[in-house]
């Protein structure tokens, strides 16, 4: 028996864990779960747990409904809370999705990312990820389509004193770290009710699992504080939206492949080519990194959200930023991707970002000079005059670019590519069908 499996089975028995939740996501990044009792766990490791794949968004057709989830013992973690009983201990594991013949499911987002991890390894790289995750605390999610009410009126780095959940972040960090998820920083963000928690770097697959766990834990801690958490990119018209600025670095063994002490910005040729790949392909991958209609309200009307495919050094208006906090420190040389938002499917979003960067390395893309302007303050004509390529301004625009993208089709695979497009076109058409309050206020008396 595998040593990791042995550890899980022993821990379940020693800690009297009553239920083990097996987690995976659908194509849109919605968390799915099936609970198994300890007596069934060894069988789940050996044979998987069968379920109806046709009932999961984008997984399979009725004729291919039999699907297996295979628990990954390396992801086993005890959940830090339970709202029904202090004595009812539970744990979770992420699963890989497989077909009855044991082949990986082409619809599994985790499998899509694994393919990019393998592609990076073939080029000699491992990929580390460090996200800064923003979200809002609001009084209720049941608003009947109206704007929610924030739990506080704080601003950037404000110390919570009188808000409705003053201990929220400390409780959330305690819960995350009790699961072995290390937190680097946390603070109040610029908008009322907006929070940011930054996670310590990990390999890209582990971090994607961690982000899904993070969302679950944050929502549970919010419930315990009688408030609610939302990862919607822009719930407030007059305040900044929630991004998930992501720091990425590639390593060759123990060596940071992005660092070059002789370069003016300490960027290696590999780093420059990776940045060039992300910048070049950013418009066509935007539908995946920013997958909702609402995502583009943050990009077009948000603060410090990138509007053009650019890069810069310490420039927070650029799509790709090169941080300069510790310019000479080899291990810290990384690039920050700033368009991605907190409501993406992290497996798919990181897969297309990696694919873009790796394409840049493999084909030797050239990197232009860094942007020094406040890009968000420029007009469209000014951006075009400077040679900047605009990012999509709507989901419609993003999907049209994605439809033509050979890179995205190859990265996601035909099944995920086609289903994602069908689902998102349906979302866009539903959005277009609405008659908004703004239209009625401005045009009804015409």
pLDDT per position as a tens digit, 245-287: 999 999 999 999 999 999 989 999 999 999 999 999 999 999 9
What is the residue-wise DSSP string for 398-413?
A: HHHHHHT-HHHHHHH-
Average pLDDT over residues 378-395: 88
Spatial separation of the C-alpha atoms in residues 180 and 401, rounded to whole Å:
39
246 located within any domain: yes
Residue with tokens 């109806």: 52
- Pairing assessment for the beta strands 126-138 and 244-252 based on DSSP bridges: antiparallel
Are 142 and 13 contained in the same domain?
no
In a domain, 42, yes or no: yes
Calculate the alpha carbon distances from 290 to 35, 403, 431 in Å.
31, 15, 16
161 three-state secondary structure = coil
Q: Is residue 94 domain-shared with residue 136, that is, in the same domain?
A: no
182 shares a domain with 97? no
Residues in the chain: 446
Q: How confident is the model at residue 159 (pLDDT cuts 50, 70, 90)?
A: low
Do 52 and 132 lie in one domain? The reply is no
Answer whether residue 446 is part of any domain.
no
Contacts of 396 (CB under 8 A, 6+ apart): 428
321 and 390 co-located in one domain: yes
Q: How confident is the model at residue 64 (pLDDT cuts 50, 70, 90)?
A: very low
Q: Are 59 and 97 in contact (CB under 8 A)?
A: yes
Query: Are residues 148 and 296 located together in one domain of the fold?
Result: yes
8 Å CB contact between 282 and 309: yes
What DSSP assignment string belongs to 294-328? THHHHHHHSSS---EE-EEES-TTSSEEE--SSTT
Pair (133, 75) in one structural domain:
no
- From residue 109, alpha-carbon distances to 42, 49, 114, 231, 321 in Å are 25, 18, 9, 20, 27
Tell me what the mean pLDDT of segment 185-195 comes to. Answer: 89
As a whole number of angstroms, the distance between CA 394 and CA 2 comes to: 48
Contact 201/129 with Cβ under 8 angstroms?
Answer: yes
369 and 231 together in one domain: yes
Share of the chain above pLDDT 90, in %: 70
Look at residues 83, 107, 131 and tell me which one is the last residue of a structural domain. Answer: 107
C-alpha 241/C-alpha 231 separation (Å) is 9
In a domain, 251, yes or no: yes
**Domain CATH for 17:** 3.10.20.70
Does 62 score more than 70 pLDDT?
no
Count other Cβ atoms within 10 Å, centred on residue 363: 11
**Phi, psi (deg, nearest 5) at residue 218:** -60, -45
Same domain, 99 and 159: no
Question: Which has more confidence, 57 or 7?
Answer: 7
Quickly state the pLDDT bin for 161 (edges 50, 70, 90). low
The pLDDT of residue 63 is: 38
Cα–Cα distance measured from residue 217 to residue 209, given in angstroms and rounded to the nearest whole number: 12
Q: How does strand 89-98 pair with strand 17-25?
A: parallel
Tell me whether residue 351 is in a domain: yes
Number of domains making up the chain: 2
Q: At what angle do helices 414-433 and 269-289 cross, to 10 degrees?
A: 50
* 120/97 same-domain check: no
Tell me whether residue 139 is exposed, middle or buried, using C-beta atoms within 10 angstroms of its C-beta: 0 to 12, 13 to 18, 19 or more: middle
Domain of 381, in residue numbers: 115-441
What is the CB-side half-sphere exposure of residue 322 using CA atoms within 13 A?
Answer: 25
- Confidence at residue 117, expressed as pLDDT on a 0 to 100 scale: 98
pLDDT value of residue 171: 92
The pTM (predicted TM-score) of the whole model is: 0.94
Cα-flanking dihedrals φ and ψ of residue 31, to 5°?
A: -70, 130
Rg of the chain's alpha carbons, rounded to an integer?
22
The answer on 37 and 170 residing in a single domain is no
Q: Is residue 67 in some structural domain? A: yes
The domain boundary, picked from 107, 124, 156, lies at 107
Report the greatest alpha carbon distance in the chain.
75
Contacts of 293 (CB under 8 A, 6+ apart): 394, 395, 427, 428, 431
Q: Residue holding tokens 């979302």?
A: 427
CATH code of the domain covering residue 147: 3.30.590.10
Of 72, 107, 142, which marks where a domain is finished? 107
Which tens digit of pLDDT belongs to each residue from 323-362?
886 666 777 789 999 999 999 999 999 999 999 999 999 9
Q: Which of 29-38, 152-161, 326-335 shows the lowest per-residue confidence on average (mean pLDDT)?
A: 152-161
Q: Are residues 78 and 131 in the same domain?
A: no
Among the residue ranges 130-134, 144-148, 375-379, 387-391, the one predicted with the least confidence is 375-379
Query: DSSP 3-state assignment of 160?
Result: coil
């Amino acid at each position: 028996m595998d040593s990791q499996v042995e550890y899980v089975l022993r821990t379940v028995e020693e800690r009297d864990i009553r239920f083990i939740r097996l987690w995976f996501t659908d194509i849109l990044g919605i968390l799915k779960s099936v609970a198994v009792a300890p007596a069934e766990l060894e069988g789940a490791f050996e044979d998987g747990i069968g379920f109806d794949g046709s009932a999961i968004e984008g997984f399979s057709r009725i004729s291919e409904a039999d699907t297996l989830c295979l628990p990954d013992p390396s992801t086993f973690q005890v959940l830090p809370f339970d709202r029904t009983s202090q004595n009812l201990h539970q744990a979770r594991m992420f699963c890989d999705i497989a077909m009855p013949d044991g082949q990986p499911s082409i619809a599994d987002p985790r499998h899509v990312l694994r393919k990019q991890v393998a592609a990076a390894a073939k080029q000699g790289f491992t990929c580390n990820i460090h996200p800064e995750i923003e979200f809002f605390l609001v009084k209720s999610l049941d608003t009947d389509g109206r704007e929610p009410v924030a739990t506080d009126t704080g601003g950037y780095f404000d110390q919570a004193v009188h808000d409705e959940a003053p201990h929220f972040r400390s409780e959330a960090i305690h819960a995350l770290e009790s699961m072995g998820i290390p937190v680097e920083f946390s603070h109040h963000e610029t908008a009322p009710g907006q929070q940011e928690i930054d996670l310590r770097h990990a390999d890209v697959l582990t971090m994607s699992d961690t982000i899904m766990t993070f969302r679950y834990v944050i929502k549970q801690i919010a419930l315990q504080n009688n408030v609610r958490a939302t990862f919607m990119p822009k719930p407030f018209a007059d305040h900044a939206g929630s991004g998930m600025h992501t720091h990425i670095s590639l390593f060759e063994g123990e060596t940071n492949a992005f660092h070059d002490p002789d370069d003016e910005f300490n960027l290696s040729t590999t780093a420059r080519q990776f940045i060039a790949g992300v910048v070049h392909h950013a418009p066509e991958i935007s539908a995946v990194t920013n997958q909702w209609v609402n995502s583009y309200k943050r990009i077009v009307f948000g603060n410090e959200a990138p509007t053009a495919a650019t890069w810069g050094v310490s420039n927070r208006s650029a799509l790709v930023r090169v941080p300069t906090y510790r310019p000479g420190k080899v291990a810290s040389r990384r690039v920050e991707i700033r368009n991605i938002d907190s409501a993406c499917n992290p497996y798919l979003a990181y897969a297309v970002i990696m694919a873009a960067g790796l394409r840049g390395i493999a084909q030797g893309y050239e990197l232009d000079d860094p942007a020094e302007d406040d890009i968000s303050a420029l007009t469209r004509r000014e951006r075009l005059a400077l040679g900047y390529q605009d990012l999509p301004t709507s989901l419609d625009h993003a999907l049209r670019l994605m439809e033509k993208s050979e890179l995205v089709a190859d990265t996601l695979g035909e099944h995920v590519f086609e289903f994602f497009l069908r689902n998102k076109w349906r979302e866009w058409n539903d959005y277009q069908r609405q008659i908004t309050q703004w239209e009625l206020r401005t045009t009804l008396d015409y």
